[in-house]
Structure 1
């Protein structure tokens, strides 16, 4: 009696090739995910140069630990987690991840909604990169990566309230930038 065995998926073959150290499979994995992961690195790093360093370190970790990948989550999610953790570790080592405990700042924040449709991804990324590292980290982890404030607090060794405060402050700063940009555009149109 023959048992039915599920054929290997392309992803399974890719993972097996990477575990075996096959350079062509490692290159394929890198090519499949590098653009998405570089966007993540750019959101966390203050410069493109540092983002490239984070990316390189992260993929070294991916290839060094690919044998521990478990299929209980998508491969992209697993790689993303390594990239984020590598970025946080990099910023801690550079002492760029000093989190402020400014709880009273939340009281002065605006909750105006701003239309993002007129901005390119590069413009929005540039605004996020201009945030102080402590605000950028919490903003990225909460607004983009989807972590809860409790999880962020544990990751960054801060309180949940501090995470909320940092996120609110980052959001207010970004809103201020967007409103400032909108005013400049309106003034340019009027003066033209």
Structure 2
């Protein structure tokens, strides 16, 4: 599989349409899911998805075959998603309310809930909370990395994550209480 992928990548750099289709088919489910996590609705997710794939195919010749290709292409998508969100908010994304260190982060204990419902709740989060939540939870980034990427303080990253978790927890508890009532 790795050898085939490497061949497809090399062919994509030469604008081979069949190879591009193969790469698209291999990675589109994961990358579209990533877009859905960051954007508020499917239309915006589809727009960014398409734009990011165009960028990825334009830059595919820059891939050095070091590290995973999935990680490389995900980075392009994340950068495009963040750029799009920043443009929508005209650069005003974060409130530096808490500059001090946040106490140990509260764990979000997820009871059984449908994935679609959880994705819907994540999409409803304010942009600043959603971005930090996604980068921390799904991309496994540390607060220091998130702070640097988003040009915010580590304290702001931590507080935005805690606020996102709090909002999600409340929504999940409401659903669970309705089911048990």
Unmatched runs of 5 consecutive residues or more in structure 2: none
**Correspondence for 2:78:** 84
Superposition TM-score, scaled by structure 2 size: 0.91
SS at match of 1:9: helix
Counterpart Cα distance in 2 of 1:110 and 1:176 = 16
- Give a deviation string over 1:105-150, Cα, whole Å, max 9, x none: x98x99475343x212111100100101110000000111111111
Counterpart Cα distance in 1 of 2:133 and 2:116 = 17
Query: How is 1:7-156 mapped onto 2 (pairs within 5 angstroms)?
Result: 9-95=3-89, 98-103=93-98, 111=106, 114-116=109-111, 118-156=112-150
Superposition TM-score, scaled by structure 1 size: 0.86
Counterpart Cα distance in 2 of 1:173 and 1:154 = 24
Counterpart Cα distance in 2 of 1:20 and 1:53 = 25
Deviation at 1:68, TM superposition (A): 0.4
Alpha-carbon contact 2:108-2:165 (below 8 Å) kept: no
Alpha-carbon contact 1:46-1:130 (below 8 Å) kept: yes
